[in-house]
Amino acid sequence: MRTLPLHPGAEGLRDDTAVMEVGGERLVLTHDAIAEGVHYRPGTDPFDIAWKLVAVNLSDLAAKGAEPLGVLIGAVLVERAERFVEGLRAVLTEYDVPLLGGDTISVSPATFGCTAIGRATSPRVPRRDGARPGDALWVTGPMGAAMLGFEAGTGTAYLRPRPRLSDGRALAAHVHAMMDVSDGLLLDASRMAEASGCTAEIRLADVPIAAGADPLRAVTWGDDYELLFAAPADFTPPVAAARIGHMTERGAVPLLLDGAAPDFPLGYQHR
């Protein structure tokens, strides 16, 4: 993909969004897809599919401190399509985001796509590659809630994530780097460190963990959609967040957990 003609705002496809200057505004654009059997189980209520589809894209905007302007939806014709429409209405109403358009097709297994467009609210749009040695590493909420929901079969946290839009806007002007936790805290922290030329050092005991979740599984499972950010060591976040570690000069590996390089998968790797 990176050999294709790219807009400068795509930043070489090294982040989850692109930023474009349009009419004096900086637009933040992202597109993500969810698929049956990967992001949700077969038989999932289409209401929840619609919610998750929009929410994961709004989460990418949150990591840039962007204000959503609208979304476009690519939807598969599924049974109980009225439930998909109800879910779409619910999530768009919840976050005051209008639908701009989209298309419907028939394909199996079902795959849904969403493009979200936002407006930058900070003079500097935070990226994942801006962390610096000495920065403190923070996360806005507990890890493992999505995992517990998935395993219990209720799926509330797994299927209906809550994008941290207001937190992202409050943090954007102050942090050096920020991204949402989608594929596992350890993997995403490793990606931030790698992009920034640093090593992320995390102390597991400092990571907030959802009640009842195994800590090691919680930090590698993903789908929590909290915000992970690096900021100056003396920074006090204006939102609820836990300090989980810090960035150091790049060493042999991009991530250390309790002082050692993990010898297990850090999170969900897309094929």
Domains of the chain (ranges plus CATH)? 8-120 (3.30.1330.10), 136-257 (3.90.650.10)
Q: Work out the pLDDT band at 250, boundaries 50, 70, 90.
A: very high
Q: Tell me the average pLDDT across 65-78.
A: 93
pLDDT above 60 (res 270) = no
Q: CA–CA separation, 191 vs 165, rounded Å?
A: 22
Contact 105, 74 (CB under 8 A): yes
Q: CA–CA separation, 173 vs 65, rounded Å?
A: 8
Q: Tell me the average pLDDT across 80-109.
A: 92
Q: Exposure pattern of 28-41 as b/e (b: 16+ CB <10 Å)? A: bbbbbebebeebbe
Q: Tell me the average pLDDT across 243-262.
A: 98
Residue with tokens 């840039």: 64
Q: Tell me the average pLDDT across 209-217.
A: 97
pTM: 0.94
Per-residue pLDDT, 156: 87
111 φ/ψ sector (left φ>0, alpha ψ -120 to 50, else beta)? beta
Average of per-residue pLDDT values in the chain: 93
Per-residue pLDDT, 22: 87
